[in-house]
Amino acid sequence: AGRLTGRVAIVTGAASGIGEASARRLAAEGARVVCVDVSEQVQALSLELGDSSVAEIADVADDTQVDLFVRSALDRWSRIDILVNNAGIDGQLALLADGHQENYQRVMDVNLRSCWSTMKAVLPSMVAEGSGSIINMSSVGALIGFENLSVYSAAKAGMLGLTRGAALEYGAHGIRINAICPGGVLTPLAESFMDEGTYKAWADKHALKRFARPEEIAAVVSFLASDEASFITGSSLVVDGGMTAI
């Protein structure tokens, strides 16, 4: 039995990268996991994880779809102990003045609105249980600037605001709400804006001179979800290989 035995977790963006690694890790620690993704690939992961897992194909930017997968998790397992808000996109890489309006809206909706709508949907059941752990996947982009990623950075910084405010509002109910700010992580998202040549330049921005493996972020997700993090709330854990120390 692992430290999350009996817990029910929802992980968004579970078909790839950090979300997939997190779903695998939470399941390995004994949790039942609802794997949410807009991509049908999430079904393969859920099948692999077996009976203690279910796949939900949904767009987290759509409040109605969010309410549906939360409702279906509650119908199936009667409780939600852990929410990992991980689905995210970097969007169009562009200088601020060159950015498109639709890109602004989509990046805000997928990264920030979803953080609000999923928390709004799960909190009543967590209040009823008197416990819960919510983990919002922000980014070092919330803390330092990156060229061509200003809208992404704004959405990720917004997640820290939601995290702090909600942590204050729900702490008295035994619910902990935290964010993680990863540095570079080797996932399809990171690879999408990096050819092999630019990897080294980006790796060199970290004290450790490399990117993280998704499992290194999943380990922190699992820690924050567990009772070992029982006194941590309203915080953002910087898991960036020293990127913001440079």
Which residues make up the interface to ligand NAD (CB under 6 A)?
12-13, 15-19, 37-39, 59-61, 86-89, 110, 137, 139, 182, 184-185, 187-190
Between residues 53 and 187, which has the closer beta carbon with respect to ligand NAD?
Answer: 187
Distance between CA atoms of residues 88 and 85, nearest Å: 9
CB of 17 to ligand NAD, least distance (A): 2
Shortest distance, position 154 Cβ to ligand NAD, whole Å: 13
> Which residue, among 190, 234, 183, has the nearest Cα to 208 in the 3D structure?
183
Per the residue annotation, which of 104, 152, 170, 199 is the catalytic one? 152
> Strand 32-37's sheet: what is its strand order?
53-57, 32-37, 8-12, 82-85, 132-137, 175-182, 236-239
* Closer residue to ligand NAD in complex, CB, 17/158: 17
Closest to 200 (Cα-Cα) out of 215, 187, 188, 184? 184
Least Å from the CB of residue 31 to ligand NAD: 19
- Is 152 known to be catalytic? yes
Shorter beta-carbon distance to ligand NAD: residue 39 or 198: 39
- DSSP H helical segments within 78-177, as ranges? 101-107, 114-129, 150-170
**Of the two residues 129 and 238, which places its CB atom closer to ligand NAD in the complex?**
238
- C-alpha dist (Å) from residue 49 to 23, 40, 53, 54, 138: 9, 15, 6, 9, 26
Find residue 35's DSSP bridge partners. Answer: 11, 55
Tokens at residue 196, please? 């092999």
Compare residues 152 and 170 and give the one whose CB is closer to ligand NAD: 152
Q: State the minimum distance, in angstroms, from the CB of residue 129 to ligand NAD.
A: 25
Residue 62 vs residues 109, 116, 123, 133, 215: alpha-carbon distances, Å:
8, 11, 18, 23, 28
Least CB distance to ligand NAD at residue 65 (A): 8
| Residues tagged active-site | 152
